[in-house]
């Protein structure tokens, strides 16, 4: 599976997500412009010594991601979505898309893909969850739905 971050702004969040990707062998896609340098000390600190375990792809724009991964299913994570993330039926090639911290996924992308938009349920007055927490929640649900086969293939057979 793949985690796609559209224009992430906070290095600590991206570092935490990179660490999650390292621990689960999920590929990370960063769509420019990034709100930080990839040499940023906060980005590195959050990822600690996991960077060598992460497959990271950099993309100039989201259209490039769509073009390169035409045969994949995309799920767009937004607080505005009509469906809970638990309603989605995730597969091993899916692209889990998240927007930048201050604005989320651009409205044009959401409107074009409305039936593939999912959300994490929360109380009405809560604006949103932290980006790295949201990625972890949805990624682990996707892995759980697949019986953690992805992790088992990597040698984590203690999940049986």
Residues contributing to the annotated binding site: 99, 120, 128
Nearest to 88 by CA among 77, 103, 102, 100: 77
How far, in Å, CA of 126 to CA of 51, rounded? Answer: 33
Which residues define the annotated binding site for S-adenosyl-L-methionine?
99, 120, 128
Do 73 and 93 contact (CB within 8 A), yes or no?
yes
Nearest to 83 by CA among 127, 125, 128, 113: 113
Take residue 14 and report the two structure tokens written for it: 């991206």
Do 18 and 28 contact (CB within 8 A), yes or no?
yes
């Amino acid at each position: 599976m793949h985690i796609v971050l559209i224009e992430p702004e906070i290095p600590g969040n991206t570092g935490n997500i990179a660490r999650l990707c390292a621990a689960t062998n999920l590929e990370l896609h960063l769509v420019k412009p990034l709100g930080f340098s990839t040499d940023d000390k906060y980005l590195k600190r959050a990822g600690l010594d996991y960077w060598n375990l992460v497959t990271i792809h950099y993309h100039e724009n989201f259209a490039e991601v769509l073009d390169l991964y035409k045969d994949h299913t995309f799920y767009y994570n937004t607080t505005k979505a009509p469906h809970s993330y638990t309603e989605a039926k995730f597969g091993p090639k899916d692209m889990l898309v998240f927007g930048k911290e201050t604005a989320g996924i651009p409205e044009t992308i959401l409107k074009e893909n409305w039936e593939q938009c999912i959300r994490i349920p929360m109380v009405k007055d809560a604006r949103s969850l932290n980006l790295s927490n949201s990625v972890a929640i949805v990624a682990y649900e996707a892995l759980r739905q697949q019986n953690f086969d992805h992790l088992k293939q990597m040698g984590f057979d203690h999940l049986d």
